[in-house]
Chains A and B, each alone.
Chain A
Amino acid sequence: MLTVPDAQGHFGPYGGRYVPEVLMSPLEELEKAYLALKTDAAFQAELSDLLKNYAGRPTPLYFAKRLSEKLGGGKIYFKREDLLHTGAHKINNALGQALLARKMGKKRIIAETGAGQHGVASATACALLGLQCRVYMGEEDMRRQSPNVFRMRLCGAEVVGVTNGSRTLKDAISEAMRDWVTNVESTYYLLGSALGAHPYPLMVRDFHRCIGDEARAQLLEREGRLPDMALACVGGGSNAIGLFHAFINDPGVKLIGVEAGGKGKKTGEHAARFSGGAPGVLHGAYSYLLQDEDGQVALTHSISAGLDYALIGPEHAHLHDIGRAEYVDCDDATALEAAVELSTMEGLIPAMESSHAVAEAIRRAPATSKDQILLVNLSGRGDKDINIYRENLKELDSDSHQPAF
């Protein structure tokens, strides 16, 4: 059905390569190196070994019995990417790209991070492979995700605070790109989401395809059938594209991406690109972009740093336009409620990002029948968000709190 991207990295009209000329040849080199290793048995074997014995793949597929029964609809299954080393799916891509960087002879790695999960995954992969690592992170995100800042430093990485603009993911990517433009000969840019110029969206998707491939096989084994819907949160969209890809040619599987509704779309403080944005170019790719009338990139807001970004990954734009995937948004308050629900019903504390997908599953489940299956990517665990949860759930954080039993 779909052979995207094309040779120039286009997903329909989206994606492509919109970068300063300095980066064009390096991107061509990167593409060549990646495509060679994609079919290189030794490289794939090394990556598989690390994913299995270092990161913890395959991750389990967990049937959330209590939550499903309470909601009274279909069976909710969670793909447990939260159990991976470093706490989120990000390690799949970080290991893949760090190995690629080493094969390309690059000794210095730079990365950007929003929630800090990609930064931690990059710092971890670099420690493992003996590579120098510098991570750019917006100062606002450093504050929101301080435990992750320390984890990166503990793994030997340098964390550079970015004070430009909104001091979040967008500005961290801009700063990483400036570093890359300057040090392109020696440096590998380990981009953490399905964003940026070709071949990044393709490469990041490929490194996360294991999520959907495993979940598909696991469900077929457990239930003898495919899910009715697959849900994932979408910032840049790496965990979502990793999950979706295995089901793209299964028309019976609804693909649902959940964007950050922030404080509500009426406030303008959100990251819902499909309903609030228009096609545009940011950081090397053409896709749906939150922008003002004059083409300036709009400031975004989400309680989750990982979803707080103005552009959606280009393959999602394509899946949206051809109607293969549906995109909705979930506001901060609803995501918080879902996190509490999942924690108390199943003992799973989700990352703030993943809570958005959980919320959409909770919203949809009651309208499904008992024999239907909802597959949710639990892309990360909530340890890094404990401070955010405490700040926003003060009634739980006191001695007079009423326990569930």
Chain B
Amino acid sequence: MILTRISQRFNELRAKNEPALIAYVTAGDPLPEMTVDIVNALIRGGADVIELGVPFSDPIADGPVIMRASERALAAGMTVEKVLGVAQQLRATTDVPIVLFTYLNPVMRYGFDKLAARAKQAGIDGFLLTDLSVEEAESFVAAVKAQDLDTVFLVAPTSTDRRLELVAKYCSGFVYVVSRTGVTGEQAQVSAGVKPLVEKLRRFTDLPLGVGFGIANADQAAEVGSVADGVVVGSAFVRAIETTPAAEVLDRIERMARDLKQGAVRGRG
């Protein structure tokens, strides 16, 4: 089996003893033509992996910040096809891994095999579908694997050992560790449950572990970076995109990414 771009990136970072900054933005927010610049700003700031959100009309796992971003992106005419186009444009200038992050229905509608093939062509490296349970994932994982791409699954504080084992079996690229029960959104503190969950999960898998849900500042990134292989930040970037005047957005999120990456690295002492 070939080494995917995601695995390669985590290997490089592991060699440097550096946690990855995994940055999420909703593609098409606030406008489809701004996403390439926004992602490039994140990369300049130090993002190691990009999660590109495909907006969905009924995002049940998302809090108000990403919900509003999805609404803006859909209102601006974002589609799966356009997200593929954004990825293709990005791939022309960067080798940073790109993961499509969305819900199952838009993917199902596009067609698993067709999307996996188009994604490969566009330079996308993997998928994360928040409402696709491992139990229902067989045909999707097969379609993605056939293109040598990764399917990232989530584990949660509620996951039993049996489920951790199951996720470890089907997951590739990295495992997304949900830091707390709840929807996406910034939190004042990193959940105390993160460390034990990460340690437990290591018994089941050698895959890199990225921790997300609620991480918004450098101190939190440091805390997570001390135990995990990656720090996922989403809502904080999306809120910055929402609240910053257009002329300053790119500088702002580049600075945020730099700050978060430095925080994560600091966590390794």
Contact = CB atoms under 8 A, between A and B. Distances in A.
B189 interface: no
* A interface secondary structure, majority: mixed
Interface string B55-87: 011111101000100000010000111000000
B106 A174 contact: no
Q: Interface range on chain A: under 10, 10 to 19, 20 to 34, or 35 or more?
A: 35 or more
Residue of A25, A181, A296 with most chain B CB atoms under a 10 A cut-off: A296
A20 B57 contact: no
A28 B167 CA distance: 15
A84 interface: no
Contact of A25 (B79, B153, B160): B160
Interface string A1-38: 00000001000000011111111111010000000000
Contact of A289 (B60, B81, B105): B105
A140 B37 CA distance: 39
Interface stretch (B1-9, B128-136, B226-234): B128-136
Interface in B62-121: 63, 67, 74, 79-81, 103-110
Nearest to B68: A164
Contacts of B153: 21
B163 interface: yes
Nearest to A9: B135
Interface in B41-62: 56-61
Contacts, number: 119
Given A181-B181, A182-B181, A297-B58, A18 B158 contact: no
A6 to B, nearest CB: 12
Interface string A164-186: 11000011001001100111110
A20 B63 contact: no
A17 B133 contact: yes
A178 B130 CA distance: 13
B58 A22 contact: no
B154 interface: yes
A360 B163 CA distance: 47
Given A170-B58, A296-B56, A22 B178 contact: yes
A296 B136 contact: no
B156 A280 contact: no
A180 to B, nearest CB: 9
Interface in A307-342: none
A178 B58 contact: no
A280 B23 CA distance: 29
A156 interface: no
A16 B136 contact: yes
A18 B60 contact: no
A294 B158 contact: no
B182 interface: yes
A284 interface: yes
A283 interface: yes
Given A18-B133, A183-B181, A297-B105, A283 B60 contact: yes
B183 interface: yes
A291 B61 contact: no
Contact of B163 (A25, A178, A284): A25
B52 to A, nearest CB: 16
A28 B133 CA distance: 12
Nearest to B62: A178
B155 interface: yes
A131 interface: no
A22 B106 contact: no
A283 B59 CA distance: 10
Given A18-B133, A22-B181, A174-B58, A281 B159 contact: no
B178 A21 contact: yes
Residue of A280, A283, A294 with most chain B CB atoms under a 10 A cut-off: A294
Nearest to B129: A18
Contacts of A297: 57-58, 105
A297 B183 CA distance: 20
Interface string B147-177: 0000001111111100100010000000000
A285 to B, nearest CB: 10
A295 B133 contact: no
Residue of A18, A164, A184, A185 with most chain B CB atoms under a 10 A cut-off: A18
Contact of A24 (B59, B63, B67, B158): B158
A293 interface: yes
A357 interface: no
A150 B80 CA distance: 43
B133 A164 contact: no
Given A22-B156, A282-B105, A294-B106, A178 B131 contact: no
Contact of B159 (A24, A185, A283): A24
A18 B132 contact: yes
A59 B163 CA distance: 44
A281 B158 contact: no
B30 to A, nearest CB: 18
Given A22-B156, A164-B67, A181-B60, 8 more contacts: A17-B133, A18-B132, A24-B156, A25-B158, A26-B158, A181-B181, A294-B106, A296-B57
Interface of A: 8, 16-26, 28, 164-165, 170-171, 174, 177-178, 181-185, 278-284, 286, 289, 291, 293-297
Interface of B: 56-61, 63, 67, 74, 79-81, 103-110, 130-133, 135-136, 153-160, 163, 167, 178, 181-183
18 contacts: A16-B135, A17-B135, A18-B133, A20-B60, A20-B131, A24-B133, A25-B160, A165-B58, A174-B58, A174-B59, A181-B61, A181-B181, A182-B181, A185-B158, A280-B108, A282-B58, A286-B136, A296-B74
What are the 7 closest A-B residue pairs judged by CB atoms, nearest first?
A295-B109, A295-B106, A22-B156, A182-B182, A296-B57, A21-B154, A297-B57
